[in-house]
A and B are shown apart, each in its own frame.
Chain A
Amino acid sequence: MRANPLLYKEFRQRMRARRTPLVVAGYFVSMAALTFFLLYENVQGQLVLVLPARSEQVFLLMSLLQMTVVAFLTPAFAAGAISGERERRTLVVLLTTPLSPFGILVGKVLSSSALLALLLVVSLPLYSLVFLFGGAVPQEVLAVFGFQLLNIVLIAALSVLWSTIALRSGWSTVLSYATVGFMVIFSGVVGYGLRLLAQSPMEFFALRWSNDLLALNPLWMEASLAGVVSVTRHAWVLFLGFYAALVAVLAVPAVFRLRPQLWRLLPGDERNYQ
């Protein structure tokens, strides 16, 4: 924490915010209601309570829903990280401290991810219920949680970078949600559509595009961890490589924004930035 004072300060601020307990409690209650509903539907009219195949569906549904919710919640906490500081006129002082741009960005990404990670943690007891009914093995649960955490950090990083590049929180929010929209909706819908098209012999070329697009979809990749769909190693390389490259590409102008000594190499008027 001492290595990154911004992270410590952000934790303190975010956890003191009035909306934090509301978000955590609201999320837990919603997820609990959904889990009990699904489990109830699962065993209703059945003679036995433990139905692994059906519980596996509950696990998959919960995991995909959780991934979708956190994917769309993360920009709400991260898209104003830097632009919000600029709008509140606190960035100008922060930039005159010896904090490095990397330290500022990392502090913002990790603090934005922290609340979302807390949402994952509070939902763990619900997963244990599914686990009790034989819906998943521990390795699957851990893999899914690890992947969700990775996606939270990834989306938080992309949102913080957009927030640094864009001058206004409104714009950074639009850009962050457009990115999440591409990740979750566009790649899934178009990828799956191409897969259906590829079933026709005339349209076999679509299969490659379908595989590549679905490899960029976190829901699809998560489903593969739950053993519902199968993906190749190439798909994992593509997922990790594509998003790592996107973060690296956005990090360049973001660091330029925070390090004014490099601004003169960028077009535009830096007078408006701080």
Chain B
Amino acid sequence: MIQTQNLVKRYGREFAVNQLNLTVRQGTVFGIVGENGAGKTTTLSMLATLTVPTSGQAFIAGYEVTHQPHEVRRAIGYMPDSFGVYDELTVMEYLRFYADCYGVDRGTAERRAKELLEWVDLGAKQHSYVNALSRGMQQRLEIARCLMHDPEVLILDEPSSGLDPRSRLEMRAVLQRLRSLGKTILISSHILHELGSIADEIGIMRGGELSAIASVNVMLAHSDAFRTLWISGTGPREAWERAFADDPHVLNVVEKRPAVEVLYAGTVEQQAQLMKSLMDRGVVLYQFAERPTDIEELFLRLTDQGEEAD
């Protein structure tokens, strides 16, 4: 449904996107994760026909984005990372305007707008002015706006950015509901954890390149290889440092008083060895607990590996 072949976007000598090869199958949700400046927005902008690729090709629903932009625009619903709303329009008028832009007939537009507003929990706001809505409500309204012409593909650029924690949770609920519509969705975020519960596959972008692609299930399975240990106790500082330095499975240690948090890439048996090593060096342990590594830490681990390779 979405396919890019050696897609490149260059500004002067700087590569914003470099040789991007991406395939998103029909009806699946693909998440792109990366830090700011990784090339996510440029990629999505090219797919939304807003920016022209320097070289390479991109297809959406079988249409090529540079040569068939009109067809691509009809096939997609695009939500930019930063957007404005029209003042002096009510929520209903706002949705009707975009329905008119796509040539949706008045009756269908009216019915669909009401359904979508209920769907994004804005049913009670249909007669409110758009600029009177909170940021979180406006973001949900944008999701409804993207769906007004019933597109096959949704391209959502950081839909939860700039939201407070409550609005972020509400948006996540809406995004999870989006899955049930069976649309092909390409969604970007700089928070991997946010996409973990939404996406089928996740790609990590760094420096304009897609450095890793994996299904969320596979990533979570890999995450079992990394453990986060929560250790508290008392003893000489050198003893702690020595024990951690001598264990090759200790990847990272962060002091979080009154304990330390250890990212550990070993088995349960090796974990027991670390506990024994600490005690042998005179450390009195109060707590030695393991908590599951979340997808965010796995992402950090992957990007760290990339940087080390550089």
* Residue positions of A touching B, CB distance < 8 A: 2, 5-6, 8-9, 12-13, 16-17, 88-90, 92-99, 260-261, 263-264, 269-271, 274
Q: List 22 A-B contacts (CB under 8 A).
A: A2-B100, A8-B100, A12-B93, A16-B88, A88-B84, A89-B84, A93-B98, A95-B49, A95-B50, A96-B73, A96-B78, A97-B98, A98-B101, A98-B102, A98-B103, A260-B49, A260-B69, A264-B52, A269-B11, A270-B52, A274-B45, A274-B50
Tell me whether B76 and A96 are in contact (CB under 8 A): yes
Residues of A within 8 A of B86 (CB): 9, 13, 90
Q: Which residue of B lies closest to A5 (CB)?
A: B100
What is the distance, in angstroms, from A86's C-beta to the closest C-beta of chain B? Answer: 10
Residues of A within 8 A of B210 (CB): none
Residues of B within 8 A of A269 (CB): 11-12
Residues of B within 8 A of A12 (CB): 88-89, 93
Tell me whether A260 and B51 are in contact (CB under 8 A): yes
Q: What secondary structure prevails in chain B residues at the interface with A? A: loop
Q: Which residue of B lies closest to A274 (CB)?
A: B50
Q: What secondary structure prevails in chain A residues at the interface with B? A: helix
Expressed in whole angstroms, the Cα–Cα distance for A17 and B73 within the complex equals 31
Tell me whether B50 and A92 are in contact (CB under 8 A): yes
Q: Which residue of B lies closest to A85 (CB)?
A: B84
**1/0 contact trace for B81-113 toward A, CB 8 Å?**
011111111000100011011110000000000
Tell me whether B50 and A96 are in contact (CB under 8 A): yes
Residues of B within 8 A of A274 (CB): 45, 50
Interface size class of B (residues with CB under 8 A): 20 to 34
What is the distance, in angstroms, from B60's C-beta to the closest C-beta of chain A? Answer: 12
CB of B66 within 8 A of chain A? yes
Expressed in whole angstroms, the Cα–Cα distance for A8 and B86 within the complex equals 13
Residues of B within 8 A of A16 (CB): 88
Residues of B within 8 A of A271 (CB): 11, 51
Expressed in whole angstroms, the Cα–Cα distance for A2 and B105 within the complex equals 10
* Residue positions of B touching A, CB distance < 8 A: 11-12, 45, 48-52, 66-67, 69-70, 73-74, 76, 78, 80, 82-89, 93, 97-98, 100-103, 145
Smallest CB-CB A-B distances: 4 pairs: A5-B100, A89-B84, A88-B84, A97-B101
Expressed in whole angstroms, the Cα–Cα distance for A271 and B54 within the complex equals 13
Tell me whether A13 and B87 are in contact (CB under 8 A): yes
Tell me whether B88 and A17 are in contact (CB under 8 A): yes
Given the known A-B contacts A9-B86, A260-B50, A269-B11, are A93 and B80 also in contact in the complex, defined by CB atoms under 8 Å?
yes
Residue among B50, B67, B103 with max Cβ neighbours from chain A (10 Å)? B50
Residues of A within 8 A of B98 (CB): 93, 97
Residues of B within 8 A of A9 (CB): 86, 89, 93, 97, 100
Tell me whether A96 and B102 are in contact (CB under 8 A): no
Tell me whether A89 and B88 are in contact (CB under 8 A): no
Given the known A-B contacts A90-B86, A269-B11, are A97 and B73 also in contact in the complex, defined by CB atoms under 8 Å?
yes
What is the distance, in angstroms, from B113's C-beta to the closest C-beta of chain A? Answer: 14
Expressed in whole angstroms, the Cα–Cα distance for A6 and B86 within the complex equals 12
Expressed in whole angstroms, the Cα–Cα distance for A261 and B70 within the complex equals 11
